[in-house]
Amino acid sequence: MQTTRPILAWETLLELETEGTDARPPLRDRVENALRRAIDEGRLVTGSAVPPSRTLAETLGVSRWVVTEAYGQLVAEGMLEARTGSATRVAERQEAPEATRGNDHPRPRDPAPASAPPIRYDLRPGIPDLRATPRSRWAAALRAALADLPDRELAAAHPFGYAPSRAAVAAYLSRSRHADADPDRVTITHGATDGMDILTRELHGRGHRTLLVEDPSWPRLRAVAENNGLRPIRVPVDDDGVDIEMLAALATHTGARAALVTPAHQFPLGAALAPARREQLVRWAREHAGLVIEDDYDAEFRYDRRPVPALQRLAPDRVALIGSLSKSVSPALGLGWMLLPPDLAPPPSAAPPSLIDQAGLAEFITRGDLERHLRSSRTRFRRRRQRLLDALGTRLPDLTVSGIAAGMHLVLTLPSHVPASAVIGAGAAEGLALTSLRRYTDTADRPDALVLGYGNLDDALVEEAVARLATLVR
């Protein structure tokens, strides 16, 4: 097994990213950029293990959240690989055979050629329309909030978030997600990953050692839970969402009493949790004194009907709702929230979001800017999704497209003789950014498929992107 070459001391990682600059970027970005550059330049070699998040945080003198966020982003990009029961390691950068646990089949990765051209056709999932980021409205909200912020608040402690921000988020969740939202149970976070970090650290402190997770699912939150000592237990997902009977059986077998789910719009398969299963999940949590962590992933975007209310409404005492502005507005804002059950009160974050950003969030919500942005985004994404479906139906009529009319992605199943890794590698050479379904699962028996995101796909390039994709598939 390869190990890290002793070319770069971990203590110097942050310093490298500030040389020659007048302004120091946020700690999270500096750690992330330093790691990325070390991997790109070969100072961290393929297969080498990075330190546990707690160890690296202590070495660098930063909060563990900073390191966890950096690791999570690089895992999501495919530069690091986090696996159950093993250290986080530098991933293969090009296609190569790999032994997988429990089977003899190689697990393809999405190749990232070093010489790939800039992305022109962005079909990556999980990215909103960056061109439509409401810059002027957000700037106006920040200016108004800063002007109105009382002097005494500038030096005050806000352990769970600025009170007006918590109240604004509670009101928003009540009217948009029909949640049972009390401002005193809202915590302002840096985003869903930060919320997951806070929650899983608290669960570990309360004796939890396992976490039920959907399979497939977003790897970043699984990695955070594992870094905090919770072993992910994978539960299969079908067209009705996560299999609750299997979840209950696995919980009995492993002793798990907490589950992470995406009931509004499962990522990446795109199912909504069926009504009967919602009731089953809540019943399981109540009967076993369990906790359901509801990741409200792109729940605001439903195109065939009104969004389904949050699962939290059915059991406010058993469901923790986490959400953010990353998918609905922009990941650059770095803001999110948790709505927690009354008996769950984790310690405050050691590195909460900026008070000014929190005050801006309150202003952004109370002025109605967030919901105006969501309405326009809903219209734009609905139209773009239909154009993508029409183009796929014309160019690749024999392939199956799945996922409910919601969110910012769909799943395209490939022919059995066409490996996703080959399509992705060829697409990268043409500026076509694609993602394999296998990135989100270790299950080898699923058909090869692509998870096509359309959030950041230029409307003018939809048909051209599909035409190029069809050529590659054929």
Nearest to 110 by CA among 472, 453, 427, 442: 427
Q: Is 337 helix (H, G, I), strand (E, B) or coil?
A: strand
Report yes or no on 406 lying in a domain.
yes
Nearest CA to 434 among 110, 77, 131, 118? 110
Instruction: Give the burial class of 454: count Cβ atoms within 10 A of its Cβ; 0-12 exposed, 13-18 middle, 19 or more buried.
Output: buried
Pairing of strands 89-90, 409-413: unpaired
Position 405 in a domain: yes
How deeply is 434 buried, as exposed, middle or buried, from its count of CB atoms within 10 A (0-12, 13-18, 19+)? buried
Residues 388 and 358 in one domain: no
If asked whether residues 171 and 271 sit together in one domain, one would say yes
Is 137 a residue whose pLDDT tops 90? yes
Residue 99, domain member (yes or no): no
Q: Is 440 helix (H, G, I), strand (E, B) or coil?
A: helix
Q: Residue 392 is encoded by which pair of tokens?
A: 């796929």
The single-letter code of the amino acid at 184 is D
State whether 287 and 311 are in the same domain.
Answer: yes
Pull the structure tokens for residue 308. Answer: 């389904």
pTM for the model = 0.77
Backbone angles phi, psi at 417, to 5 degrees: -95, 5
Residues 64 and 206 in one domain: no
Residues 459 and 421 occupy one common structural domain: yes
The pLDDT of 447-463, averaged and rounded, is 95
What is the C-alpha separation between 159 and 181, in angstroms, rounded? 19
Q: 473 pLDDT exceeds 80?
A: yes
Domain assignment of residue 23, yes or no: yes
Question: What is residue 13's predicted lDDT score, i.e. its pLDDT?
Answer: 54
- Quote the pLDDT of residue 22: 40
pLDDT band of 25, cuts 50, 70, 90: low
Secondary structure letter of residue 413 according to DSSP: E
Which residue intervals of 331-443 are DSSP H helices? 355-366, 369-395, 420-428
Alpha carbon distance 122, 197 (integer Å): 29
| Residue 425 three-state SS | helix
Over residues 201-214, the pLDDT tens digits come to 999 999 999 999 99
- The answer on 313 and 187 residing in a single domain is yes
Which of 369, 384, 402 is the C-terminal boundary of a domain?
369
Say which residue, 228 or 24, is predicted with more confidence. Answer: 228
What CATH number has the domain bearing residue 389?
A: 3.90.1150.10
Domain assignment of residue 197, yes or no: yes
Segments forming the whole domain that contains residue 455 = 121-132+372-473
Are 83 and 125 contacting, i.e. CB atoms less than 8 angstroms apart? no
Question: Are residue 143 and residue 86 in the same domain, yes or no?
Answer: no
Instruction: Please compute the mean of the pLDDT values over residues 423-443 and round it to a whole number.
Output: 90
Question: Which pLDDT score is estimated for 86?
Answer: 67
Q: What is the pLDDT of residues 140-166, one digit of tens each?
A: 999 999 999 999 998 888 889 999 999
Give the burial class of 176: count Cβ atoms within 10 A of its Cβ; 0-12 exposed, 13-18 middle, 19 or more buried: middle
Examine residue 2 and state whether it is found in any structural domain, yes or no. Answer: no
- What pLDDT score was predicted for residue 70? 80
Which CATH number does the domain housing residue 356 bear?
3.40.640.10
- Please check whether residues 287 and 356 belong to one and the same domain: yes
Per-chain mean pLDDT for the chain: 86
Q: What does the angle CA 3 – CA 6 – CA 7 come to, to the nearest 5 degrees?
A: 125
Q: Average of pLDDT values for 12-20?
A: 46
Question: How do residues 249-266 score in pLDDT, each as one tens digit?
Answer: 999 999 999 999 999 999
Quick one: pLDDT band at residue 135, thresholds 50, 70, 90? Answer: very high
Query: Residue 105 falls within a domain, yes or no?
Result: no
Q: Residue 238: beta bridge partners?
A: 241
Residues 194 and 332 in one domain: yes
| Contact between 453 and 441 (Cβ < 8 Å) | no
What is the mean predicted confidence (pLDDT) over 110-134?
81
296 and 201 in one domain? yes
Least confident span in 70-74, 126-130, 286-290, 353-357: 70-74
Q: What's the angle, vertex CA 156, arms to CA 151 and CA 157, rounded to 5?
A: 160
Mean pLDDT of 364-377: 96
Count how many domains the chain has: 3
Predicted confidence at residue 50, as pLDDT, reads: 87
Q: How far is CA 140 from the centre of its chain?
A: 28
Q: Does one domain contain both 75 and 211? A: no
Contact predicate 48/4, CB 8 Å: yes
CATH code of the domain covering residue 49: 1.10.10.10
Percentage of residues in the chain having pLDDT higher than 90: 65
pLDDT band at residue 411 using 50, 70 and 90 as cut-offs: very high
Q: Same structural domain for residues 230 and 322?
A: yes
Query: Has residue 71 been placed in a domain?
Result: yes
Average pLDDT over residues 395-408: 95
pLDDT band at 21 (very low <50, low <70, confident <90, very high): very low
Q: Are 175 and 206 in contact (CB under 8 A)?
A: no
